[in-house]
């Protein structure tokens, strides 16, 4: 009997994801031009988010995402790396979060988790 594939088990995530729906702005460089794309969030975690934007991005592409934290007036501009992209849905992993950005995301995810328990 052959051995099971190495990645046969369910994907384990570092942090819980929460369904969200808010406006985002994504900034990236394509062919030496800085582009600003408007889109929507799909889910959010302390480590990254899934977004819908009107463009296909390359895996590994650096981006900057700007958004207002849900249930807050705090605006964040976070650096991220595209980890997967299928059509207009992309998954990004946050990179080099400042202590303030990390705390804002952590508090937001705690509020979203509390709302699920209520």
How confident is the model over 42-89, as pLDDT tens digits? 999 999 999 999 988 999 999 999 999 988 889 999 999 999 999 899
Residue 91 belongs to a domain: yes
Residue 52 belongs to a domain: yes
- pTM above the 0.85 mark? no
Please give the residue range of the domain that contains residue 103: 18-117
**Cβ count within 10 A of residue 11:** 5
Structure confidence by residue, pLDDT tens digits, 26-40: 999 888 899 999 999
Q: What is the tally of structural domains in the chain?
A: 1
Residue 77 belongs to a domain: yes
Cα distance between residue 111 and residue 8, in whole Å = 33
Residue 3 belongs to a domain: no
Residue 67 belongs to a domain: yes
């Amino acid at each position: 009997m052959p051995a099971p594939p190495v990645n046969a088990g369910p994907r384990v995530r570092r942090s819980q994801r929460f369904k969200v729906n808010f406006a985002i702005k994504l900034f990236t460089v394509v062919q030496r031009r800085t582009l600003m794309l408007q889109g929507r969030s799909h889910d959010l975690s302390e480590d990254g988010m899934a977004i819908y934007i009107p463009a296909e991005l390359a895996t590994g592409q650096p981006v900057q995402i700007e958004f207002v934290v849900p249930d807050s007036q705090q605006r964040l501009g976070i650096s991220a790396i595209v980890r997967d992209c299928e059509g207009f849905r992309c998954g990004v992993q946050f990179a080099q979060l400042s202590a303030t950005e990390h705390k804002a995301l952590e508090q937001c995810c705690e509020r979203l988790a509390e709302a699920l328990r209520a």
